[in-house]
Amino acid sequence: MTRILLLTLLHPLPENPARGAFVADRVRLLREMGYEVKVVNTLPRMLKIHEQRRSTMQGVAKAPRQFEFEEQPVLTIRYTAFPDHPFPSWTSASIKRQAKRVENWLGDWRPDLVSVHTLWPAAVLAQKLASLYSVPCIATAHGHDIEVGLSANYSSRIIQLIKSVQQLVVVSDKLAEREPNSVVIPCHVEVPEKLQRPIEKWQGRWRRGELEVLFPANSKRPEKDHYLALQTCRELETRGWRVKIGDLPNVPRNIVHDRMHACDIALITSRRESGPLVAREAIACGLPVVSVDIGDMKGWLPPHCIAKERTPEALADAVEAVLKSEETIQLPIIFEKEHTSRELEKLFTRILKKS
């Protein structure tokens, strides 16, 4: 049985089960494929009050040194970093010092492969451990490292990490355009079969009925642009609709799927996305999606689901077009679990043969 040591900056925490759910999906899939996986969650040192800077940081300050997720142990290691990483050398040295603790935790267990999700700074430790055990290292970038990190003051560190790993994996064709030597393996859609629904034609009263809109993100995250979603709902109200809008704060996956079943449409207004995965989950749950032109949406969503401009009026037009439409929306095969499994198997086989 191949052993994989997986490091990640993002992973569900006891106080924040929504954090890094897509990484937990990948770990679960690897175990279903027969791999033995151990998970190390790299987290910055911070005070509870600092969690308020970003909603995604909820639960980080008090995360235990070790905890169980889905009956499997997860090791938490800490590194020192300042906001926006003004001293990348300090951060790099801090996280490298945690290699010994990981080694002690693993004991006699030795990995055949190190996999890291997110590059900075988790991949610094991943590279150190891969060198320690003389095994290959694969890095998966989910968006932020490439879309934001390559323009940040620590961009040279990210470029160095990309060059040093045996293979860079990205989750969308959009990211692959910026990193031509990467391999594209999208995050698969993890919606239980019993919760999957076909998209049905809307049956309410046109421009008079009630419309339940789901903003499928935490409204406190500035890059999700909740204000544009609110403006769109106001525009719909001027056309006669009675609109209710709700967001998805840091809640467990089952509640996310319940909300998707209860709403009429999902509205995505993000300024930056590599996917987004939540749009695929919405379609799987039978919830139609309207979005700005972001991430890989144009590659698989029908044209009438994409707003022609990034304005409330264009988004409202798209909402009404989707409500009128009888077109069936199906997820491409590349988002299915079986496709992801095959691609991962091919990648691991190739990398391990070289080592």
Position 133 pLDDT exceeds 80: yes
pLDDT of amino acid 304: 96
Structure tokens belonging to residue 182: 């990467």
Nearest CA to 286 out of 307, 261, 262, 308 is that of 261
Position 355 pLDDT exceeds 80: no
CATH number of 193-324: 3.40.50.2000
In tens, the pLDDT along 288-327 reads 999 999 988 998 999 999 999 999 999 999 999 999 998 8
How many CA atoms are closer than 13 Å to the CA of 355, on its beta-carbon side?
21
Same topology, domains 3-188+336-354 and 193-324? Answer is yes
pLDDT of amino acid 149: 86
Mention every residue, 6+ apart, whose C-beta is less than 8 A from residue 339: 188, 333
pLDDT of amino acid 147: 87
At 153, the pLDDT band (50, 70, 90 cuts) reads confident
Q: Hey, CA dihedral for 122, 128, 129, 135, is it positive or negative?
A: positive
Mention every residue, 6+ apart, whose C-beta is less than 8 A from residue 238: none
Q: Hey, CA dihedral for 17, 18, 19, 25, is it positive or negative?
A: positive
pLDDT of amino acid 224: 95
Structure tokens belonging to residue 258: 């319940």
CA–CA dist 44, 23 (Å, integer): 18
In tens, the pLDDT along 198-237 reads 999 888 899 999 999 999 999 988 999 999 999 999 999 9
Q: Nearest 5°: phi and psi at 329?
A: -110, 125
Which of the residue ranges 52-61, 153-162, 191-200, 219-228 would you say has the lowest mean pLDDT?
Answer: 52-61
pLDDT above 90: percentage of residues in the chain: 80
Domain edges within the chain: 3-188+336-354, 193-324
At 284, the pLDDT band (50, 70, 90 cuts) reads very high
In tens, the pLDDT along 109-121 reads 999 999 999 999 9
pLDDT of amino acid 82: 83
CB 139 within 8 A of CB 161: yes
pLDDT above 70: percentage of residues in the chain: 100
pLDDT of amino acid 98: 98
CATH classification number, 3-188+336-354, choose in 3.40.50.920, 3.60.15.10, 3.40.50.2000, 3.40.50.970: 3.40.50.2000
- b or e along 159-185 (b: 16 or more beta carbons within 10 Å of the residue's beta carbon)? eebbeebbbbbbbbebbbeebeebbbb
- b or e along 223-248 (b: 16 or more beta carbons within 10 Å of the residue's beta carbon)? ebbbebbbbbbebbeeeebebebebb
Tell me the three state secondary structure of residue 291.
strand
Q: What's the mean pLDDT when you consider all of the chain? A: 94
Mention every residue, 6+ apart, whose C-beta is less than 8 A from residue 135: 111, 112, 113, 114, 355
